[in-house]
């Protein structure tokens, strides 16, 4: 008997677009496994996915973190400017 599959969401966004994948992975799969089931490397060839932070529901996690049913896996892109600096600049 095979492993039970669970459904998770993988999200990636740039400044101009966002992509959401609904994927099924075997129970016990990791963040890396879930990302690998998407076509993200084709959709975003400019991103160095292995160097980008990832998380689940806004909490940074490692690629080997197991996922649970309904998790939203997020791939975080670098910000062009630190939010505190941009707020300070706008207030001047």
Whole-number pLDDT of residue 76: 93
| Torsion (CA) 64, 34, 45, 13 in degrees, nearest 10 | -100
DSSP assignment of 33-92 equals HHHHTS-HHHH-TTS-GGGS-EEETTEEE-TTPBP-TT-EEEEPPPPSS-HHHHHHHHH-
Q: How far is it, in rounded angstroms, from Cα 52 to Cα 37?
A: 17
**57-87 pLDDT tens trace:** 999 999 999 999 999 999 998 766 666 776 7
**15-65 pLDDT tens trace:** 888 999 999 999 999 999 999 999 999 988 888 888 899 999 999 999 999
**5-17 pLDDT tens trace:** 999 999 998 888 8
The tokens for 38 are 């998407």
| pTM metric for this prediction | 0.81
């Amino acid at each position: 008997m095979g492993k039970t599959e669970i459904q998770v969401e993988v999200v990636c966004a740039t400044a101009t677009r966002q992509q959401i994948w609904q994927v099924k992975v075997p129970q016990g799969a990791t963040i890396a496994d879930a990302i690998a089931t998407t076509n993200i490397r084709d959709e975003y060839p400019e991103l160095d996915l292995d160097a980008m932070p990832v998380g689940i529901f806004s909490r940074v996690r490692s690629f080997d973190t197991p996922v649970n049913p309904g998790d939203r896996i997020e791939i975080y892109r670098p910000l062009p400017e630190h939010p505190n600096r941009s707020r300070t600049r706008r207030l001047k």
